[in-house]
């Protein structure tokens, strides 16, 4: 009888999956919204300016990375108890080697073409590259409609991708409006790797918006796939996504201040 009691009582490290998903998504979403809205005040508080980087920024970035590592470690330790129906896995997201090779060739060709492209061509590439992001978002919305248990994690992922850039709503000079403006917004979550790649290629970011859109759509697609694979994997990925967006938001705000 004592053995049966030991097995039926949950361990201290066990957490119900709906409880963990809802509260974690809510906390991460609130953190992304507050960070995005108060990014100008945070930038002023660090003392950074156009000519130099404040030392405290590096320590804060390091602290965020350490926090991510600690949180992911805790997620590995925690045992998530599934009290909801089993979530089906997205088997259609399997990627083969030849898919990667084709995408690599297309991106390489667009990079070479983008260096010589005119302003009108760059705008067209930026608009066309936003289509995959919209398609991935529609796919995620359809999947959530079929399996409602995904809704909180998907909402948290989208919030952590875009909410750190809410300060743009306070800056009327950034928004261009129209389809090109929407394309710029969709490319924001991966602006940091886009800027790094642009510095290596010696190309201005305006000519790499299409690349940011493609990377953002890939980031969203991988997130949807991980959400279908399990709660701990999804939360770890969303946390890393939030950190990447916060870094990108700070860098973009610094560039706008110049």
What integer pLDDT is reported at residue 163 of this predicted model? 93
- The string of pLDDT tens digits covering residues 56-99 is 888 999 999 999 999 988 888 877 665 555 555 555 544 444 45
Q: Is residue 247's pLDDT more than 80?
A: yes
Cα 203 to Cα 6, 64, 200, distances in angstroms: 63, 29, 8
In a domain, 225, yes or no: yes
In a domain, 59, yes or no: yes
Position with higher pLDDT, 152 vs 149: 152
Contact present, 252 and 174 (Cβ < 8 Å): no
What integer pLDDT is reported at residue 165 of this predicted model? 92
Cα 72 to Cα 106, 219, 248, distances in angstroms: 34, 18, 21
- The string of pLDDT tens digits covering residues 72-81 is 888 888 776 6
In a domain, 65, yes or no: yes
Mean pLDDT over each residue of the chain, to the nearest integer = 75
- Between CA 22 and CA 17 the distance in angstroms is 9
**For 175-179, what is the mean pLDDT?**
50
Sign for the pseudo-dihedral over CA of 40, 44, 48, 54: negative
Segments forming the whole domain that contains residue 248: 11-257
**For 188-197, what is the mean pLDDT?**
86
Cα 198 to Cα 33, 85, 109, 202, 209, distances in angstroms: 28, 45, 15, 6, 10
Query: 167, 152, 143: which is closest to 252 by C-alpha?
Result: 167
Position with higher pLDDT, 179 vs 30: 30
In a domain, 3, yes or no: no
- Between CA 2 and CA 165 the distance in angstroms is 55
- The string of pLDDT tens digits covering residues 106-151 is 555 555 555 555 556 666 666 776 777 778 778 777 877 777 777 8
Highest mean pLDDT among 105-114, 157-166, 180-189, 210-219: 157-166
Q: Is residue 239's pLDDT more than 60?
A: yes
What integer pLDDT is reported at residue 238 of this predicted model? 94
Q: Is residue 192's pLDDT more than 50?
A: yes
Contact present, 48 and 254 (Cβ < 8 Å): yes
Contact present, 210 and 181 (Cβ < 8 Å): no
In a domain, 190, yes or no: yes
Position with higher pLDDT, 250 vs 101: 250
Structure tokens, 231: 């709660």
In a domain, 4, yes or no: no
In a domain, 208, yes or no: yes
- Between CA 21 and CA 172 the distance in angstroms is 35
Calculate the dihedral angle through the C-alpha atoms of 214, 219, 224, 230, rounding to the nearest 10 degrees.
Answer: 160
What integer pLDDT is reported at residue 27 of this predicted model? 93
Sign for the pseudo-dihedral over CA of 44, 47, 51, 54: negative
In a domain, 1, yes or no: no
Least confident of 55-59, 137-141, 177-181, 237-241: 177-181
What integer pLDDT is reported at residue 21 of this predicted model? 80
Number of domains in the chain: 1
Position with higher pLDDT, 31 vs 258: 31
- Give the global pTM: 0.78
Calculate the dihedral angle through the C-alpha atoms of 82, 88, 91, 92, rounding to the nearest 10 degrees.
Answer: -130
What integer pLDDT is reported at residue 102 of this predicted model? 53
Sign for the pseudo-dihedral over CA of 50, 53, 56, 57: positive
Least confident of 25-34, 80-89, 246-255: 80-89
């Amino acid at each position: 009888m004592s053995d049966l009691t030991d097995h039926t009582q949950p361990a201290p490290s066990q957490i119900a999956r709906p409880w963990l998903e809802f509260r974690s998504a809510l906390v991460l979403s609130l953190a992304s919204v507050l960070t995005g809205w108060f990014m100008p005040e945070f930038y002023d508080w660090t003392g950074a300016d156009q000519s130099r980087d404040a030392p405290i920024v590096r320590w804060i970035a390091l602290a965020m990375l350490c926090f991510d590592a600690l949180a992911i470690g805790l997620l590995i330790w925690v045992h998530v108890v599934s009290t909801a129906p089993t979530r089906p896995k997205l088997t259609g997201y399997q990627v083969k080697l030849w898919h990667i090779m084709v995408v690599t060739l297309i991106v390489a060709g667009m990079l070479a073409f983008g260096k010589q492209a005119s302003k009108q061509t760059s705008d067209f590439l930026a608009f066309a590259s936003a289509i995959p992001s919209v398609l991935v978002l529609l796919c995620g919305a359809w999947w959530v409609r079929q399996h409602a248990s995904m809704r909180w994690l998907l909402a948290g992922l989208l919030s952590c991708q875009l909410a750190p850039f809410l300060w743009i709503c306070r800056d009327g000079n950034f928004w261009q409006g129209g389809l090109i403006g929407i394309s710029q917004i969709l490319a924001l979550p991966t602006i940091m790797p886009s800027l790094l790649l642009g510095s290596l290629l010696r190309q201005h970011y305006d000519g790499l918006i299409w690349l940011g859109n493609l990377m953002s759509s890939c980031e969203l697609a991988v997130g949807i796939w991980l959400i279908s694979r399990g709660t701990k994997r999804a939360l770890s990925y969303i946390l890393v996504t939030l950190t990447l967006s916060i870094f990108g938001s700070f860098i973009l705000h610094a560039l706008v201040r110049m």
